[in-house]
Amino acid sequence: MTDFAQITLIGMGLIGSSLARAIRSHGLKTRLVGCDSNPQHVAEARALNLVDQITSDPIDAVKSADLVILATPVGSYADLGARLCPVMKPGAILSDVGSVKASVVKTLQPLMRDDCHLIPGHPVAGTEQSGPKAGFSTLFDGRWCILTPPENTAPEKVRALEKFWQAIGSTVECMTPDHHDMVLAITSHLPHLIAYNIVGTARHLEEVTKSEVIKYSAGGFRDFTRIAASDPTMWRDVFLNNKDAVLEMLGRFTEDLTALQRSIRYDEGDKLFDLFDRTRRIRKQIIDAGQDEDVPDFGRHTDDIPD
């Protein structure tokens, strides 16, 4: 069930194409329009038959839409907002899936017309892959979708968007954009920064020592290389649009890392053991709570996840 007669997805990459697949696979009755600025992605979305109409013209794509979802890198929002807001249908909702939220409100709110509704969103689900072929229909199953409606947003519009995300398998939570950005800075943005950094450091070591380093990597480092393979444009935009929270978390992280460095230097084995024991228990709690795809009975289907 959905309240939206037409949904338009701007950006048919990993998240946009997964949304299209999820809308179809959950049987939502809506006209689905897709838009992408990359002609190859338009061709792929058409070949995959992901939407009822695919176009490279965002104005044509949104003018009849009841719900517009931006699924492009957040650095593109200022330009898209300036072009789309004037032509949106009265009463329509403008939402998004961007990984940061305060800067999205700051960028889009001033462009909104009084008769349309801005309700930013963020599905906390993804992979390191990009493009229309990378999407899959079960991406949002059992995952959080965080909505950050500005104060005074019409409650029935928030409820309609909540129902949409629930209909494609997500659990919805509302919070302020600042709270979202602080939480995601430590749980998502910093892990990506660390992964980009450690893989870069290993590659540099290989160059300066003129020896093989990465060739001999096993599980731990390889897990970092998966994260460090994530889309460069998307992640550049995330870091530039969540500066304060990321720098705050990086400061805390650096302090804790320095404490660990000290424990190693002064043979403080008990301190090292206590931390590692605590973090092992955190991992167990996450798995027990069913928040991880390693859990077999969590209900996530992996059969349509591409290789």
Ligand X SMILES: NC(=O)c1ccc[n+]([C@@H]2O[C@H](COP(=O)([O-])OP(=O)(O)OC[C@H]3O[C@@H](n4cnc5c(N)ncnc54)[C@H](O)[C@@H]3O)[C@@H](O)[C@H]2O)c1
Ligand Y SMILES: O=C(O)C(=O)C[C@]1(C(=O)O)C=C[C@@H](O)C=C1
Residues making contact with ligand X (CB under 6 A): 10-16, 35-38, 41, 58, 71-74, 76, 80, 97-99, 123, 126-127, 130-131, 231, 234, 238
The pair of structure tokens assigned to 248 is: 């705050």
Least Å distance between CB 120 and ligand Y?
13
Nearest to 118 by CA among 167, 75, 151: 151
Q: Binding residue for ligand Y (CB under 6 A) from 17, 130, 137, 188?
A: 188
Least Å distance between CB 290 and ligand X?
20
The pair of structure tokens assigned to 210 is: 């003129």
Cα(127)–Cα(227) distance, integer angstroms: 8
Residue 141 DSSP code: T
- Measured from the CB atom, the residue of 2 and 127 that comes closer to ligand Y is 127
Work out whether 126 is an interface residue with ligand Y (CB under 6 A): yes
Query: Are the C-beta atoms of residues 227 and 60 closer than 8 Å to each other?
Result: no
In sign, the C-alpha dihedral spanning 110, 111, 115, 117 is negative
Least Å distance between CB 250 and ligand Y?
16
- Measured from the CB atom, the residue of 54 and 100 that comes closer to ligand Y is 100
- Measured from the CB atom, the residue of 48 and 190 that comes closer to ligand Y is 190
Segment interacting with ligand Y (CB under 6 A) among 126-134, 163-171, 173-181, 247-255: 126-134
Least Å distance between CB 124 and ligand Y?
5
Work out whether 170 is an interface residue with ligand Y (CB under 6 A): no
Cα(275)–Cα(106) distance, integer angstroms: 39
- Measured from the CB atom, the residue of 207 and 293 that comes closer to ligand X is 293
- List binders of ligand Y among 86-115 (CB under 6 A): 99
Query: Are the C-beta atoms of residues 161 and 95 closer than 8 Å to each other?
Result: yes
Segment interacting with ligand Y (CB under 6 A) among 86-94, 119-127, 132-140, 260-268: 119-127
DSSP 3-state of 174: strand
**Amino acid in the structure at residue 41:** H
Query: Are the C-beta atoms of residues 237 and 73 closer than 8 Å to each other?
Result: yes
Residue 2: partners with Cβ closer than 8 Å, 6 or more residues away: 23, 28, 29, 30, 163, 164, 167
Per partner kind, with CB cut-offs from 5 to 8 A, the member of ligand X, ligand Y, none near residue 217 is none
- Measured from the CB atom, the residue of 73 and 177 that comes closer to ligand X is 73
Nearest to 31 by CA among 6, 54, 56, 55: 6
Query: Are the C-beta atoms of residues 239 and 193 closer than 8 Å to each other?
Result: yes
Per partner kind, with CB cut-offs from 5 to 8 A, the member of ligand X, ligand Y, none near residue 149 is none
Least Å distance between CB 99 and ligand Y?
3
In sign, the C-alpha dihedral spanning 111, 113, 116, 119 is positive
- List binders of ligand Y among 198-227 (CB under 6 A): none
Per partner kind, with CB cut-offs from 5 to 8 A, the member of ligand Y, ligand X, none near residue 71 is ligand X
Residues in contact with ligand Y, shown as a per-residue x/- string from 127 to 146 under the rule CB under 6 A: xx------------------
Work out whether 124 is an interface residue with ligand Y (CB under 6 A): yes
Q: Crossing angle, helix 269-288 and helix 243-265, to 10 degrees?
A: 140
Residue 252: partners with Cβ closer than 8 Å, 6 or more residues away: none
Least Å distance between CB 212 and ligand X?
31
Which residues contribute to the site for ligand Y (CB under 6 A)?
Answer: 99, 124-128, 188, 230
